[in-house]
Amino acid sequence: MLKRLGGTVDPKGAATAIKDAEFPVPFASELEFNSPVHGTWNIVHTGMQVPDAHQIYVCADNCMRGVVLTAAEMNEAERFSFVILKEEHLLNGNLEDITIEGVADVIERLEQKPKAVFLFTVCLHHFLGSDLERIYDELGKRFPEICFVRCFMDPIMRKSGLTPDQKLRLSMYDPLKKGTVTEEGQRRISILGSDFALDETSDLKRLLRCNDYQIKESPVCESWEDYLSLSDCRMMLNCYPSGKAGTEWAAERLGRPFMYMPSCFDYDEIIGQLEALSESMELLGVLDYEGEKESCEAALHEALLEVGDWPIAIDGTFHPRPMGLARLLISHGFYVERIYLDAISPEEENDFKWLQQHAPELMLLATVQVKMRVLPRKTEREMLALGQKAAWFTGSRHFVNMVQGAGLYGFDGIRRLAHLMVEAAREEKETPDLVIRKGWGCESCI
């Protein structure tokens, strides 16, 4: 192991004031550091959302460790299998045969055959130009009663095109079948693409339910048949950026209208989304927008009285809109000192520019830049952290423990956030114990 011999480390390249930051990538892509913060979901967690499905990974054993542990740690090992690839399989040029026979052997050994198999091919299949069509065609012939879903664990591709996470959120809706929307489906909206169901009190659910619409969400489907019924709907919505491509593609393939309504913190954007949905579906206006804004202002004011001038650190894995969150808090008198992220979403360009003008000394800090391994992880004054990585990098025991925006949406999401900040300010958490647990919100045996 490399050890630092002494002296201090210059944070340049891993930290910058926002006034000097480049949009959308403030830090160069170099040697990376992986912190022991594992609350965000990975492809194993996401795939486990599909009921009655079994995941099979075909990979070398050195790459298998992480996904195997993820399945075990979330108490879902019985729904996970793997086929180990060895060097001779590559040299002999029979990777397709090894994949087919290995997967078939796994399925034959299962006590109960799954309704679907999420088959993950990997980087080696790309390197060797494997015939994936042959693999899936042959498996489909051998097991016609099983739906094989084409999935990828190919981190070599993660910085070009869709990420493995986005690819999975696209593939997992392949089983949804075309068909005429039923009479019941005409009063149903499907929300896809997120790992978390929206809060029951979210603006979107209140609006739809007041107009007598049912809501189906992929994370809470209880059976394979329930999952397939996601396609029987009047419209498909997506509120989480990583799931946008998959939901939009599914809606286009199935012939359903699609609308992207990302969770955000700007009053006008929230109203614009809800009004666009209302106009598209001819919904009756049941939300008092002025009243909603006033209640948000009251909740933020109450939080400010509790938090005061406590310095705040925001984590990019806490919510897809960290810039918008910082803008909301700063414009309401909170002292946001730093944001931990590695890139800035194009959706946040306006918020980025606003922060450059109104909070030029706000610090942006990387999370994967290698210097973050040795830079100090304590602050002179304990911070109120929004997100697990912000808590770990600052050594804070006062943090809002949430990832990926969870169920926050709209005005209700802003109010809930304010309440969570008050709770975090009042209560200490065991940060080192909490942040190592994989997949916040999943069952964990750690």
DSSP string covering 174-218: TTPPP-PPPTTGGGEEEE-S-SSPPPTTSHHHHHHHHTT-EEEEG
Q: What residue spans define the domains of the chain?
A: 15-35+300-435, 51-171, 185-281
H-helix segments, 282-403: 289-307, 322-331, 349-358, 388-394
Bridge partners for 398 per DSSP: 384
Q: What is the mean pLDDT of residues 123-134?
A: 86
pLDDT tens-place string over residues 324-352: 999 999 999 999 999 999 999 999 999 99
pLDDT at 4: 56
pLDDT-derived band at 137 (thresholds 50, 70, 90) equals: very high
CATH tag, 15-35+300-435: 3.40.50
Q: What is the largest CA-CA distance in the chain?
A: 71
3-class secondary structure, 125 = helix
Bridge partners for 260 per DSSP: 238
Q: Are 336 and 323 in contact (CB under 8 A)?
A: no
pLDDT at 222: 96
Name the nearest CA neighbour of 269 among 215, 199, 210, 328: 328
For residue 155, the 8-state DSSP code is G
pLDDT tens-place string over residues 142-177: 999 999 999 998 877 656 688 889 999 999 999 999
pLDDT at 3: 59
Q: What is the mean pLDDT of residues 225-242?
A: 98
pLDDT at 87: 81
pLDDT at 2: 54
d(CA 228, CA 251): 14
Which residues in 269-288 are b (16+ Cβ under 10 Å) and which e?
Answer: bbbebbeebbeebebeeebe
pLDDT-derived band at 139 (thresholds 50, 70, 90) equals: very high
**Does 445 have pLDDT greater than 80?**
no
pLDDT tens-place string over residues 282-311: 998 779 999 999 999 999 999 999 999 999
pLDDT at 18: 98
d(CA 397, CA 429): 5
**Does 1 have pLDDT greater than 60?**
no
pLDDT tens-place string over residues 390-444: 999 999 999 999 999 999 999 999 999 999 999 999 999 999 999 999 999 998 8
pLDDT at 65: 87
pLDDT tens-place string over residues 175-209: 999 999 999 999 999 999 999 999 999 999 999 99
d(CA 206, CA 209): 5
Q: 15-35+300-435 with 51-171: one CATH topology? A: yes
**pLDDT over 90, % of the chain:** 85
Q: Strands, DSSP E only, in 205-269?
A: 214-217, 235-238, 258-260
State the chain's mean pLDDT as an integer.
94
Q: How many CA atoms lie within 13 A of 25 on its CB side?
A: 7
pLDDT tens-place string over residues 8-56: 889 999 999 999 999 999 999 888 999 999 999 999 999 999 999 999 9
Q: Are 307 and 384 in contact (CB under 8 A)?
A: yes
**Does 270 have pLDDT greater than 80?**
yes
**Does 6 have pLDDT greater than 60?**
no
Element (H, E) at 386: strand 384-386
Architecture of domain 51-171: 3-Layer(aba) Sandwich (3.40)
Name the nearest CA neighbour of 29 among 157, 159, 123, 167: 159
CA distances from 64 to 44, 302, 333 (A): 12, 48, 47
Architecture of domain 185-281: 3-Layer(aba) Sandwich (3.40)
CB within 8 Å of 72: residues ≥ 6 apart: 80, 445
Q: Are 12 and 30 in contact (CB under 8 A)?
A: no
